């Protein structure tokens, strides 16, 4: 457990140090410590509390606290991995809404953007190595503080896959949030510039 705490703190500090060198670093800090991140961790804790997973953590306030701490710790690890890896490979950080029209193309863009991003140097598409490393790395590292029943490599990868699914859902929400918020608005150009804080649901159980 002590090693897990050290890893969480170390990776968070690495992420913060990397962010400090980048003009977009404020986004990393905001996404990492935002109310949305805490809310997502609480939602994840509530779900696993309902399924009593892992069973060793029990129920009640103590069980929920352990599950919330685990979920938020995994989030910190994911961010601590994702941002430095994205920077090292010159990847765009964050989600950019589609400029296409139509539900299908926009939905496709939102889903694909979970694992595909663009190079900051050339603008060309590339595999989002930071996103993948953060999701699966945090899924595996989080096994360190899990009880015996969930401390397996397979469940670590499963946790990473779930994180990618949650991030994909967050991208879909960001893509269509302006229309959801203003259902009678038809000004697509105006909506493209709308990025509400309420749509900042991430990842990275991320």
pLDDT computed for residue 3 by the predictor: 60
66: pLDDT strictly greater than 80: yes
Can you tell me the distance from the alpha carbon of 118 to that of 103, in angstroms, rounded to the nearest whole number?
22
Give, to the nearest 10 degrees, the angle between helix 25-32 and helix 60-88. Answer: 170
The better pLDDT of the pair 201, 28 is held by: 28
DSSP state of 101: -
d(CA 171, CA 94): 10
pLDDT of 173 higher than 50: yes
Q: Please tell me the pTM assigned to this model.
A: 0.78
CA distance 150 to 159: 10
The pLDDT value recorded for residue 34 is 83
Q: Looking at 31-40, 108-117, 171-180, 194-203, which range is the least confident one?
A: 194-203
Mean pLDDT calculated for residue range 61-65: 95
Q: What is the pLDDT of residue 199?
A: 45
**Predicted pLDDT at 127:** 96
Average pLDDT for 2-16: 63
Higher local confidence (pLDDT), 191 or 79? 79
Cα-based angle 41, 43, 46 (whole degrees, multiple of 5)? 110
Helix, strand, coil shares, percent, the chain, to 5: 70, 5, 25
pLDDT confidence tier of residue 118, bands split at 50, 70 and 90: very high
Identify any residues that bridge with 127 across adjacent strands, giving them in sequence order: 116
- Distance, in Å, from the CA atom of 14 to the CA atom of 205, rounded to the nearest integer, reads 20
């Amino acid at each position: 457990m002590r090693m897990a705490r050290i890893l969480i703190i170390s990776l968070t500090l690495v992420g913060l140090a990397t962010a400090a060198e980048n003009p977009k670093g404020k986004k990393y800090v905001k996404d990492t410590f935002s109310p949305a991140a805490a809310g997502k961790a609480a939602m994840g804790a509530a779900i696993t509390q309902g399924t009593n997973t892992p069973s060793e953590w029990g129920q009640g306030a103590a069980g929920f606290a352990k599950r919330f701490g685990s979920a938020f710790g995994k989030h910190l690890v994911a961010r601590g991995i994702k941002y430095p890896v994205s920077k090292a490979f010159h990847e765009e950080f964050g989600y950019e809404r589609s400029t296409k029209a139509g539900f299908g193309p926009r939905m496709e863009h939102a889903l694909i953007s979970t694992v595909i991003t663009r190079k900051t140097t050339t603008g060309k598409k590339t595999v989002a190595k930071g996103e993948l490393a953060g999701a699966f790395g945090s899924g595996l590292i989080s096994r360190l503080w899990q009880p015996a029943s969930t401390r397996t490599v397979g469940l670590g990868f499963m946790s990473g896959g779930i994180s990618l699914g949650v991030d994909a859902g967050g991208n879909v929400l960001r893509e269509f949030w302006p229309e959801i918020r203003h259902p009678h608005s038809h000004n697509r150009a105006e909506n493209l510039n709308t990025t509400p804080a309420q749509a900042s649901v991430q990842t990275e159980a991320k």
